[in-house]
Structure 1
């Protein structure tokens, strides 16, 4: 029988999942939260007992009103504590989105105020630095069909 007290004493890690969705022109879908500055990939916190993939799909359904067509994991990014928020492991899944799906996006107004298809080179102008740093490696992982490991959006020797 497992030592439940021991397991309860171990540190817990926060997790988040996001979708890197590209249209046929190679533009990235970004959303604008109502509760913080900047533009982000659709996604959010992984709930207790939920897998990263399930969280990504659920968040896209909640935030966009659609089920994303994902092709695989493109990066895992360890984000250090910042602005009073604990460290988090972010799982980014890549996929595609059609013009019809973009037109059908339905944002929850209490959470998201807008969405945009942005050229990858424009993301640093729109997204916070830690999100923008993640974009290049994530796009490369998507193009190469593999997942990269990042720390604070920066590639490591394992990336």
Structure 2
């Protein structure tokens, strides 16, 4: 392929995150010290990693947990983030349930705090696209159906893309 062809191909940054809940169904979120809003435990996928590997690595680094990375719940396409030069494709995996008193070891270079949040509480601390991903992840865990969240999808309008089992 020519250089002209490759210059027309979209470039994206990829990330992987964990949907982890406690015994009351509240989601584990972290407070990064480098941005305004809270987020899921997770981060960018390194060269040579696949999304599930990155998810497990990031959870271990950020909150000190060894988790079993389960089923893919959502894939979302986010663009227009001021701190990222390209669109971001985010993979969110079901990483199960932990007790709310499980010891968490924060990666203090990047994180200021963590907490377990209900959907209603999470809406106040997450960016809009992350809150939609949270809602879609909760629904996907319950339904067993993978959800794709396209850019600019209206709240609650992520597309179901297929059965997972």
Do the structures match in fold with TM over 0.5? yes
Secondary structure, aligned partner of 1:76: strand
Q: Hey, what does 1:118 align to over in structure 2?
A: 117
Tell me, which stretches of 5 or more residues in structure 1 are unaligned?
A: none
CA contact (8 A) 2:147 2:159 kept: no
Q: Hey, what does 1:25 align to over in structure 2?
A: 24
CA contact (8 A) 1:133 1:153 kept: no
Spell out, residue by residue over 1:6-60, the C-alpha distance to the aligned partner (whole angstroms, 9 max, x if none). 8865443210000010111100000001111121100000111210000000000
* TM-aligned CA distance change 1:61 to 1:14, over 3 Å: same
Q: TM (normalized to structure 1)?
A: 0.87
The separation in 1 between residues aligned to 2:104 and 2:143, in whole angstroms, is 28
Q: TM (normalized to structure 2)?
A: 0.84
Aligned length: 156
> Aligned Cα RMSD in Å?
2.1
CA contact (8 A) 1:131 1:153 kept: no
* TM-aligned CA distance change 1:75 to 1:153, over 3 Å: farther
Spell out, residue by residue over 1:128-158, the C-alpha distance to the aligned partner (whole angstroms, 9 max, x if none). 1111121111110011122111114733444
Tell me, which stretches of 5 or more residues in structure 2 are unaligned?
A: none
CA contact (8 A) 1:80 1:152 kept: yes
Q: Which has the higher helix share?
A: 1
